[in-house]
Structures are given as structure tokens and as C-alpha cells.
Amino acid sequence: MRVLRFVDVCAGAGGLALGLEQAGFEPTLLLDNMAMACETLRLNRPEWNILKADLREFDPIEHPESYDVDLLSAGLPRVRSAATRKRAGSDAERDLLRATVYLVHAVQPRALLIENVPGLVDHPDFEDIRGFVRSELEHLGYRFHWFVLNSADFGVPQERRQGVLVAMKSRYFDAFQSPTPTVREHVTVGQTLRDSMASRGWLDADVWADQATVVAPTLVGGSENRGGADLGPTGTKRAWARMGVNAGSLSDDVPGPDFLWEPSLGPAGMVKITNTQAALLQSFPDEWRFAGGKTVRYRQIGHASPPPVGKALGLSIREALGE
């Protein structure tokens, strides 16, 4: 299988890049503006070419390795709806999406892959940015397809809907088919975390796992301006509570033999998950390490694209490119 070359922007903790690597792609350059994300990439793949830079200021002329690649990929920060953007007073996420599309002008990859919120695919709030993407890509001779994938359909133990754009040079596009699910039954939280919950001798690990029979809610990394790490908004916390999990914060370690799991007592009687377990729920391999303190690590994990989804997308793109 021939190795295909790609550039990955807003690479984060490397979930998308890892999946593409598993599909037979090799990065010529990975770019992110967060120092800890770049350190995470270096911890796990010291041989990768990693650049800490703001995508909006990136000039490919200074990095010739970004030219003549098969794929430009981007797991971009979540683009906000019009109402949310007005409250936040910022358009940074849309600026990054525009910068990615403008980069296509210079890099001229055979294919483009962007992963973002599902609403970007067809919600009216995003029609303006879809119009921009359509105009630019058609001008450059690309054809494209918007679609939504659920990570749970690819073996990820998490309900995580991802909006995806795949664009290709016209001569390749007709061969592209969006990935089909790779599992018949979703992998549950209990199946995924049973062994780690029992690793320090917690006596109720099996009982807990046997009742955690659904996929996890979407992990949310939060923003850089937010406080400590938790597992998401109120509705998400309720879903975790139904599995006997206190989603108000993360634990430094899994429960020991003396932990009394009694969800009827409220959060104090519920188990908490760790960063390592959150990474398992994103389907990172056991050996993948994350740089920084607890909150910084969780933000990287929560923002990541699950590697199995990246692999499935990479294989579909490979096939369309005739590789």
C-alpha cells in the first residue's frame, strides 16, 4: 500500500492525524497554535514535522513540504452558530475555516477533509459559510460532499456526531463514497472502562460496568477561558448520572477497593472518570500520552476527533484517489 502524504492543520492532540496514519497516510506537516497540543504530538510521534503557528498567519511558501500533497485535513475548532457567535463576540472559528479553504489555493491537494459540527452540513445558521466554501472550491475545480457521521458507528463508545466535508479534484470525486459503519453494535461505556475501573481492586467495578450499557454522551473539551475540567453541560451530566458517574469533575485515579458506589447518595456516591478513561472513550490507543496538567489534558482529549473515524475517512479518500 503506497503511503500518501498529507498536511494536517489545527491538529490538536492528533486524533485525526493518527486515524489517517492508520489508513496509510503520512504527514509532511502538522500545525497547531497550542503549545501543549504540539508537545502531545511530539511525545507520541517525535518523527513528525510539527509546527506551532496560527493557521491564519501560516504562509506555505515558508514551508515547501506543504505543497504537492494528496490530502489537506483539518479538525477545526467548532464553528459557532450566528446566535452563539453574537454572544461570544468572536468569529475566530469561522476565520480558521476560511483560512483552511484559502490554503487549498496554495497547496492544491488532491483531496480536502474538514471535520466540524454537524450543523455545518445543512443548518440554515451556517448557510453563509457553506456558500463561501462552495464558491471557493468550485472556482478551484473541486467537487465536494457534506455529510454527518456518528463516531459510535465506528466502534467509538461515544455518541459523537461530526459534520464532515470531503472535497476532491473533479477527476477523483465520482469514486468517493462516505464511510459506512464498521460495527453492528455500539460499544458501551461499561465494556470500554470495565478493566480500568477494576485495575486498583474496586469491588463494584463489574456491577458498575454491567449497568453502564450505553455509549457515552459527547465529550466536551470546553474553552481556554473556562474553569476546570468537567464532562459537559447539564444534560450531559444527567446522562452520566444515570450511569452512576459524577460528571462534575475528573478524578486523578480510578477507585480503590474501599470506594463505596452508592448513586442514591448523589454525586458523592458516584464514581468519577479519569483523563486516561476519557481518552479511551475517544478511542485513543492505551499508549497515547497527553502533555500538560489535568485540565489541559482533558481539553485536548475532549476536542479531539476519534482516530477510528479518521481512519474510516482516510480509507474512503484513499479508495477514491485510486490508491
Q: For residue range 90-105, what is the model confidence (pLDDT) as tens digits?
A: 689 999 999 999 999 9
What is the residue whose three cell numbers read 483560512?
99
Q: What pLDDT is attached to residue 221?
A: 75
Q: Cα(44)–Cα(50) distance, rounded to whole angstroms?
A: 12
Q: What pLDDT is attached to residue 89?
A: 46
Q: What pLDDT is attached to residue 2?
A: 81
Q: What is the pLDDT of residues 74-127, one digit of tens each?
A: 999 989 876 665 555 468 999 999 999 999 999 999 999 999 999 999 999 999
Q: What pLDDT is attached to residue 141?
A: 96
Q: What pLDDT is attached to residue 3?
A: 86
Q: Cα(40)–Cα(264) distance, rounded to whole angstroms?
A: 39
The average confidence (pLDDT) of the chain is 94
Residue range 28-34: mean pLDDT, rounded: 98
Residue range 8-28: mean pLDDT, rounded: 98
Q: What pLDDT is attached to residue 91?
A: 84
Q: Are 149 and 161 in contact (CB under 8 A)?
A: yes
Q: What is the pLDDT of residues 221-269, one digit of tens each?
A: 766 655 567 888 999 999 999 999 999 999 999 999 999 999 999 999 9
Tell whether domain 4-182+304-320 is in CATH 3.40.640.10. Answer: no
The amino acid present at 168, given as its one-letter code, is M
pLDDT > 70: what percent of the chain?
95
Model pTM greater than 0.85?
A: yes
Calculated CA dihedral for residues 1, 32, 119, 115, nearest 10 degrees: 0
What is the residue whose three cell numbers read 500500500?
1
Q: What pLDDT is attached to residue 22?
A: 97
Q: What pLDDT is attached to residue 175?
A: 97
3-state DSSP assignment of residue 155: coil
Q: Cα(268)–Cα(147) distance, rounded to whole angstroms?
A: 41
| CA 112-115-117 angle, 5° bins | 145
Q: Cα(141)–Cα(225) distance, rounded to whole angstroms?
A: 40
Q: Are 245 and 268 in contact (CB under 8 A)?
A: no
Q: What is the pLDDT of residues 117-157, one digit of tens each?
A: 999 999 999 999 999 999 999 999 999 999 999 999 999 99
Q: Where are the domains of the chain?
A: 4-182+304-320, 189-300
Q: Cα(312)–Cα(23) distance, rounded to whole angstroms?
A: 7
Residue range 33-43: mean pLDDT, rounded: 98
- Give the residue among 235, 245, 238, 237 at the shortest CA–CA distance from 208: 245
Residue range 171-178: mean pLDDT, rounded: 97
